[in-house]
Amino acid sequence: MRILLKFEIDCDPDAAWRALHSPRAVAELYGPLLEVDALGAMPTSFASGDDVPVQMSVAGVLPVGRQLISVADRDTTDQNGRVRVFRDWGVPLTGPLSVLDVWDHQMAVSAAPGDASRTLWRERLTIGGAAAPALWPALWATWQWRGARIRALAPTWAYDPESDSDDVR
């Protein structure tokens, strides 16, 4: 079973790519409903090959399960140019989602067609197992929430690095 999202966001693809790799930005996508905390050391930035166990809870109070975030990055192209894909193929370890046999979450960012200052965001969550049909509606609703949060937070992801000409002496 799949859940798909596709929309444009108000930041450039580099900013969106950095946000996908930021544990803090990822945690903000679920807030304030869900809190995501590391079980151990949380990296400052996710990197391809990372395996990061996290605990998810409602408002930081009611545990809803542990998840292993397993990161794999890849680059590809489509008719509009470069596409960067962040894949979390980790698994739910405990909680209601742990009954799933398949968890494959892929997020792709590329320049929006006709506007390189905006990002085309594509997301696909594939789940499988006997419980998938029962869990799909709740996950679909959560992904709609995620989509709204991504669109709301994207303008905050951009930043202008300081250059030597910006230094005041």
Would you say residue 168 has pLDDT above 90? no
- For 53-77, write each residue's pLDDT tens digit: 999 998 888 999 999 999 999 999 9
The model carries a pTM of: 0.88
CA separation for the pair 41, 134 (Å, rounded): 33
Question: Is 160 a residue whose pLDDT tops 80?
Answer: no
Say what the pLDDT of residue 77 is.
94
How many helices (H) and strands (E) the chain has is answered by 3, 7
Tell me the average pLDDT across 155-159: 88
SS3 call for 41: coil
Stretch 106-110: mean pLDDT: 98
From the list 17, 20, 7, 41, the residue with the least C-alpha distance to 105 is 20
Query: Residue 83 in 3-state DSSP?
Result: strand
Amino acid at 9: I
pLDDT of residue 156: 94
DSSP 44: S
Taking the C-alpha atoms of residue 43 and residue 63, their distance in angstroms, rounded to an integer, is 22
Amino acid at 52: V
C-alpha Rg value of the chain to the nearest Å: 17
- Measured in degrees and rounded to the nearest 5, phi and psi for residue 141 equal -65, -40
Q: Give pLDDT tens digits for 16-41.
A: 999 999 999 988 988 888 899 889 88
Strands (E), the chain: 2-9, 34-38, 51-58, 62-78, 81-88, 102-112, 115-128
The third-level CATH classification (topology) of the domain covering 2-155 is: Alpha-D-Glucose-1,6-Bisphosphate; Chain A, domain 4 (3.30.530)
Report, as an integer, the average pLDDT of 105-133.
96
* pLDDT for res 169: 44
Q: Which residues contact 142 (CB under 8 A, 6 or more apart)?
A: none
